[in-house]
Structure 1
Amino acid sequence: MKRRSFVKQSIIGGAVAAVTPAVAMSQAKTTAVEYYELRVYTFKDERQQKLTEDFYRDVFIPTTKKLTKEPVGVFAELSPVGQSKLFVLIPYSNFAQIDLLFDQLENDKAYWTKGSAYLNAPASDPAFEQLDTSILKAFEHSPVKELPAKEERIFELRQYKSASEAAGKKKIEMFNDKGEVDIFKRLGFKPVFFGETVIGDNRPNLTYMVTFKNMDDKAAHWKAFGADPEWKKISAPADYADALLVSKITSTMLKPTAYSLI
């Protein structure tokens, strides 16, 4: 079978050589951490969204669950303006598994046959308008995902963009070394993951996902976070001021699809 994965070529091809040595060196010195692929789809209409969602529900999730044993999360915007975007979170146990899965899918005839409507959608009638993909490396202080209970839940996906590499590392330091991750967990935010974007747009940035029952629950948790004495202590030093470390914060409220495994 021809190697047809344009996603692999655009996301993995040029970056593996640069990232892999650093990843290997890092993992040799520290605890192994997970990686996450975050895909964000933009659609022009319901037909495109349904075609893509059908693909993930009926083809991609069953196939990857068999190959990687990892749960794939699929989310729509909670309050979209116009046609909802679709967010897909694909966990990997390590960086090498990303490339391995692409190879396995490229050579899986059943996958290409079952997913043909999406995978082979013509240019005149595409399955989506835009697909943005990024690869994230989990924080050392939160090296693996935590799955929320399958009950009433919404998610907040937050991204902190920094103006420089140094500022981005300093912000991550607050999470990893100064205890910010622990505050989230102690206050019951039920974080799914914390990650640094190593491949993708708007770098440098860190991205994380937290869980709430509803919007009132979200408001109560963030109020408690802002008033937390330990958070005030961590954020008090001048060199940790958001004005120095964060140039833009993006918050997106999401709801899981009926077939999402997260």
Structure 2
Amino acid sequence: MKVRKLIPLGFIALCFFMSSNLFAQKRDFYELRTYHIENAEQEAMLDDYLSKAFIPAAHKNGIAKVGVFKPIASQPDAGTKVYLFIPFKSMDEYLALEGKLAKDQTYQTAGSAYINAAFDKPPYKRIESSVLQAMTGQPKFAESELTNAKKDRVYELRSYEGPTERLYKQKVKMFNSGEMDIFSRINCSPIFYAETIAGANMPNLVYMTTHENMEIRNEHWKVFGADAAWKGMKDLPEYQNTVSRNDTRLLYPAEYSDL
């Protein structure tokens, strides 16, 4: 009789362990949206929409943090792009958001100038969007640990394109097997690492690190290049020729950005 009672308890414990383990490994999905803009008027309209309509509506629908980033003044694309980073717990949450916004009267009212913009006064030139999935080495996004003024920060958004799917996967492995650890160890306060599952430059991975200012950003890269772990892995045969193009964007967070 005692054995028969213990079997169900053991089975329940095993199921709980397995479900907890699966939950721990669940990875975020992200949308990385790039608004291409042509003038200060479009930027102001976009800022108003994101800060007063979209981000509050996202919060209401369970998306706790939304990032908005712009190129720093020294970059050639300064004033021409606004980046929007939206983390989702699942693809279902991602797919459901647009429908929820369509039914949200508060959002519709707050975002009316953007939503109902005239054809000859649009709030942007074009929108470019990628759907990403967090890497296993950091399955959830993280807030930056920086505390200095947002306008002084440098957030580094990098996309590493692979020449083939096989070689791209080796670069992902490299990140999951130690490269992420180096960034954390040298205090780059990474926000996310992700694989692109739908976008223009596949196969590619995308990640974002954060730095107090440009001087510290440059120092971080010097430290990274001299790191013993990096030196030990960068010349391994399995990691050769994994990146065919490195696209680097130096950004700062908008004052109303959550991240």
Whether 1:165 aligns to 2:161 is no
SS in 1 for 2:190: coil
Aligned match for 1:99, one of 82, 92, 95: 95
Shift of 1:113: 2.3
Shift of 1:28: 6.2
Output the amino acid matched with 2:242: L
Output the amino acid matched with 2:198: I
Residues 146-225 of structure 1 aligned to structure 2 (within 5 Å): 146-149=142-145, 150-152=147-149, 153-176=153-176, 178-225=177-224
Alpha-carbon separation, structure 2, partners of 1:69 and 1:162: 31
Residues 219-258 of structure 1 aligned to structure 2 (within 5 Å): 219-241=218-240, 244-258=241-255
Output the amino acid matched with 1:34: D
Output the amino acid matched with 2:257: S
Corresponding residue for residue 6 of structure 1 = none
Output the amino acid matched with 1:92: F
- Using the size of structure 1 for normalisation, the TM-score is 0.85
Aligned match for 1:42, one of 1, 18, 36: 36
Corresponding residue for residue 57 of structure 1 = 51
SS in 1 for 2:38: coil
Aligned match for 2:84, one of 85, 88, 93: 88
CA displacement, residues 114-162 of structure 1 (integer Å, 9 cap, x when unaligned) = 2111112222221100110111100011011110134333200011011
Identity level (%) = 35
CA displacement, residues 26-48 of structure 1 (integer Å, 9 cap, x when unaligned) = x9698101111111111111111
- Contact 1:70/1:92 (8 A) holds in 2: no
Shift of 1:69: 3.7
- Contact 2:71/2:252 (8 A) holds in 1: yes
- Using the size of structure 2 for normalisation, the TM-score is 0.86
Instruction: Kindly report structure 1 stretches of 4+ aligned residues shifted beyond 6 Å.
Output: 27-30
Where does the alignment leave 5 or more consecutive residues of structure 1 unmatched?
A: 1-26
- Contact 2:38/2:80 (8 A) holds in 1: no
Aligned length: 233
Cα RMSD over matched residues? 1.7
Alpha-carbon separation, structure 2, partners of 1:84 and 1:102: 25
Alpha-carbon separation, structure 2, partners of 1:37 and 1:71: 13
Where does the alignment leave 5 or more consecutive residues of structure 2 unmatched?
A: 1-20
Shift of 1:110: 2.3
Alpha-carbon separation, structure 1, partners of 2:250 and 2:36: 16
SS in 2 for 1:68: coil
Please tell me whether Structure 1 or Structure 2 has the larger radius of gyration of its CA atoms: 2
